[in-house]
Chain A
Amino acid sequence: GENVEQHPSTLSVQEGDSAVIKCTYSDSASNYFPWYKQELGKRPQLIIDIRSNVGEKKDQRIAVTLNKTAKHFSLHITETQPEDSAVYFCAADDKVIFGPGTSLSVIP
């Protein structure tokens, strides 16, 4: 079955710096890769997703890149702000397998 790994498990950056979180997956049949953000005490919410026919997708300060050959995809957050502090989960669909999460702290 699918296995999703995520690195790093914790990440601390200064406000204004960039943050990058990487995920790898095992099932080459997966073709949908969402990223969810979960703020403390709140529910996970989708922030960006990418499909296998696209290599990169951007939405303001966040972007996701996908390398299907290497079976990895990454979340990029530029100009980080304190409100970006949260746990970020990647996932590989079909089977909706989530990675273990990355706790991001943005230091003002």
Chain B
Amino acid sequence: ETGVTQTPRHLVMGMTNKKSLKCEQHLGHNAMYWYKQSAKKPLELMFVYSLEERVENNSVPSRFSPECPNSSHLFLHLHTLQPEDSALYLCASSQILTGVEQYFGPGTRLTVT
């Protein structure tokens, strides 16, 4: 695998479930990002990690919990979600934190029932 990969590609979960989204980058980058993409807000930054430390938490509800165990992996742990959380969740990575291209993964299409 090359570039940025995300699993699963599709996820349907109930409001009481707990699930996790996984992102992996094979580019040797030092920064990783989670975005939410929905019709209301096309590309909404959620979290930013630089060298495995969280540097941005963009007022995201606590039902979303990120984890970055190393510079290649990023997780988004989900629990007690709401139907309005249904969206496409995109992961991205970049070589450094600012001023460079971001490489996006294919996204996870999440549906909360």
Residues of chain A having any CB pair with chain B under 8 Å = 31-32, 34, 42-46, 49, 51, 87, 89, 93-98, 100-101
Complex Cα gap A97–B98 (Å): 11
Known contacts: A43-B105, A43-B106. The answer to whether A98 contacts B99 by CB under 8 A is no
Residues of chain B having any CB pair with chain A under 8 Å = 33, 41-43, 45, 48, 56, 90, 98-102, 104-107
B42 CB contact (under 8 Å) in A42, A46, A51, A101: A101
| Residues of B with C-beta under 8 A to A44 | 43, 90, 104
| Residues of B with C-beta under 8 A to A51 | 99
B99 CB contact (under 8 Å) in A31, A42, A89: A31
Complex Cα gap A97–B58 (Å): 11
Chain A residue at smallest Cβ distance from B4: A43
Chain B residue at smallest Cβ distance from A34: B101
| Residues of A with C-beta under 8 A to B56 | 95
